Chain A
Amino acid sequence: MKRGSVSAIINLVEPWEALEPLTTARPVGMLPFGGRYRLLDFPLSSAINAGIQNVMVTSPRSGRSVSDHLRSGRDWNLDTIRGGLFMYPYNDLKLVAPEKKATLIHHYYDNSILFLKRSHSEYSVVMSTRNVGNIDLKALLRYHEERDNPVTTVYKSVDPKQLMPQNTILQLTDKGMATAVIPTEKAKLPKTAKKAAKNMDIYLMSTVDLIEILDEANRRGDLISLEELMKQAVIQHNANAFEYTGFQANIHDLASYFAANMSILDEANFRALFYSSRRIYTKVKNEVPTFFAEGSQFRASLCGTGGYIEGQVDHSVIFRNVLINRGSQIKDAVIMQGTRIGAGTRIENVIIDKNVVIGPNLILKGTPTEPLVISKGQHIFRQTEVVTSD
């Protein structure tokens, strides 16, 4: 792909309520995933791996966590003299004062239009972060160029049983064209159906067409998310449907977030996501090696650097800089950066956010479908302070 011929918009304005308390202070795209990444890293890496140099990231609020992660874009090679990384915060209209909201009518999409016009790109791709994958956007572009419809969508063929109410699926014609994007419950899939085309929320089209869609939405006075606009465009124009066959995780609520982390402990999934020819980039950190002490037992698990492991860890995702004290037993857990687990504490089916301190000899227990969640920065020293997630 010639440099500069495609630009990307990564949309972090996504439904976040079902992921609380993990999303209380961060957009969905900033959720830590897989030991050292954020969800945003996956679409961003797909863009970089396809040679895309113009990237805009729209975020719902001030986006402190977003800019702290991305900084100049250097870790993604986006601190270039041509193109680069553009941040566009404050898109969540729920947080905008009514008088400010009024001024946004007919101007809500101005920044995106400006970005696209200045990119001088031929094509644009719009992505979100709730579908973790490692997609080849070059192949998507080739597919698009060989076909006639103005928009190309992406789907993953899945067993309908895996679909969640929040998913959307593509309505496909016999010729493999997408005619609509519909919510799972309205899809009326036959009970015998073995496959459904799960929408991956990736849309490719010519930049001129995307600008036209946004201009039109401005004229109408729309204040809806980019994702909704894209769905409308599919219905309006019909779309090519590109099948993605790689690893995908579906992140909509706490249970699915937990399951997605657990799923990459399967070695085949781990390798598919992280060891393909397309690497996943993230903010680099200078951490010391992780130390595994005498008597530690660390099995079937992932671990970031900077850790200090004395206890027993089984089937868990352990992020950077985590301290696990002697005699603790950790099973089926997601433990994020900077957290400390006290000696003798037992943990099972739990998600622990960043910089948490869990005291010694406690029991933290959830279930696979209702994992216990400990939110960011909490210090828990008594069993009575362990509140179950409901």
Chain B
Amino acid sequence: MNDDMLGIILAGGQGTRLGKLTKGTAKPAVPFGGRYRIIDFTLSNCANSGVNTVGVITQYQPLELNAHIGNGASWGLDDLNGGVTVLQPYSSSEGEKFFEGTAHAIYQNIEYIDQQNPKYLLVLSGDHIYKMDYDAMLDYHKAKKASLTVGVIPVTKQEAKRFGMMNTDETDRIIEFEEKPEHPKSDKASMGIYIFNWSTLRDYLVKSYATDKSMEDFGKNVIPSYLAHNESVYAYAFKGYWRDVGTIQSLWQANMEFLSPHNRLNIGDNNWRIYSKAQVLPPMFLTETSQVNNSMIVDSCYVAGEVDHSILSQRVSVGMGSRVVDSMVMPGATIGKNVVIDHALIGEEAVIGDDAIVKGTATDIAVVGYNEVVGVEKP
């Protein structure tokens, strides 16, 4: 239990790299693993870590996300003293509170944070697949008497070029920050997870927006400024499974990894459950002609065809003679008869007509958008 730390999930990004899939919805609301949405992992981590008050900052296409989160009851976050608040831009006498970058998003919601009056502010992104105990990270933050603690994960030299890299001394104090370095000096990549002492961060933000308005982004602006002012900034090394699912390729890859019974994420671990908005749906129905191997299927699916190494989300139907291979199908998609789906991500409520072929490769995943209709002749 932790009443001192307020969680803020940044869920406002557009997720342009997910292409069609985020045309009408925010990235954190994108379905994952058959019965989850990406943000479920972060929300469940909060609930499991005893972070009972959470603000979710939304901006881009928030409707589906808002409906999903509701009052937070699905995660046990409908707490009497706390709970989930969806924070959307609003207008005030100072103008409209839309935001440009991660730190600006916090600044625009300063009134909400002040209302909660936390000692520590936990800043999270809503688009990562992982299980992490934020309470352990807070213990570390306190033990180090840090002003800011940054969650880091070891990456290879090749991967380091895509991340903000933290260079530390032997006590894990961060001495240098490099954004997407060509020649990385360490293997510690920022996970976009921060614990701040709120009063300090608040001072930095307020001062900046009263003057040069430079504090737009945590990575680009806030961390360098903290380092320049000799604040005590520490790296907290996370060693578990962690995936950024910001691209079509990485989203597909993480889904395929999720399928493996040996996945390090260990989704079946009852001590650290991942919760999602529960829906009451009938059980799955597999007909006499179905053939399912190496696959995950959930409630209200109907399978008369073949499913191999794939994930079917709620209410998906696969017609007779169809074959779904190495793919992830999102909720409500209808796959007709004699269809081939291979190396693909199929969007919610998509309709794939009889005899259609949707075929990608391991390096070029085919994508069908939400509500998209493929291979059905217009009447």
Contact = CB atoms under 8 A, between A and B. Distances in A.
A143 interface: no
Contacts of A280: 280, 282
Nearest to B302: A267
Contact of A298 (B267, B276, B292, B311): B292
Interface in A7-64: 34-36
Contact of A267 (B285, B294, B296): B285
Contacts of A275: 282
Contacts of A35: 282-283
B284 A290 contact: yes
A30 B22 CA distance: 43
B294 A294 contact: yes
B311 A289 contact: yes
A387 interface: no
A288 B289 CA distance: 25
A286 B278 contact: yes
B296 A302 contact: no
B325 interface: no
B351 to A, nearest CB: 18
Interface in B337-373: none
A279 B280 contact: yes
Given A286-B276, A288-B267, A291-B261, A36 B294 contact: no
A285 B281 CA distance: 11
Interface string B44-87: 00000000000000000000000000000100000000000000
B227 to A, nearest CB: 41
B296 A282 contact: no
Contact of A292 (B35, B267, B282, B297): B297
B286 interface: yes
Given A284-B278, A288-B268, A292-B297, A300 B261 contact: no
Interface residues of B, number: 35
A279 B280 CA distance: 9
A295 B292 CA distance: 8
Given A36-B283, A274-B282, A289 B297 contact: yes
B319 interface: no
Interface string B287-306: 11111111111110000000
A6 B286 CA distance: 39
B283 to A, nearest CB: 3
Interface string B259-282: 101000001100001111011101
B280 A286 contact: no
Contacts of A279: 280
B287 A267 contact: yes
Contacts of B35: 287-289, 305
Contacts of B299: 36, 304-305
Contacts of A145: none
Contacts of A75: 280
Given A291-B261, A305-B35, A305-B299, A34 B283 contact: yes
A34 B300 CA distance: 12
B356 to A, nearest CB: 24
A267 B267 CA distance: 32
A301 interface: yes
Given A75-B280, A281-B280, A305-B35, A290 B287 contact: no
Nearest to A74: B73
A299 interface: yes
Given A289-B35, A290-B298, A282 B286 contact: no
Contacts of B275: 286
A292 B288 contact: no
Nearest to A285: B278
B15 interface: no
A305 B298 contact: yes
B34 interface: yes
Given A288-B268, A292-B307, A293-B293, 6 more contacts: A36-B282, A275-B282, A289-B298, A291-B295, A292-B294, A300-B288
25 contacts: A274-B282, A280-B282, A286-B274, A286-B276, A288-B267, A289-B297, A289-B298, A289-B311, A290-B284, A291-B259, A291-B261, A291-B295, A291-B296, A292-B296, A293-B294, A298-B290, A299-B286, A299-B289, A301-B286, A302-B284, A302-B285, A303-B283, A303-B297, A304-B299, A305-B299
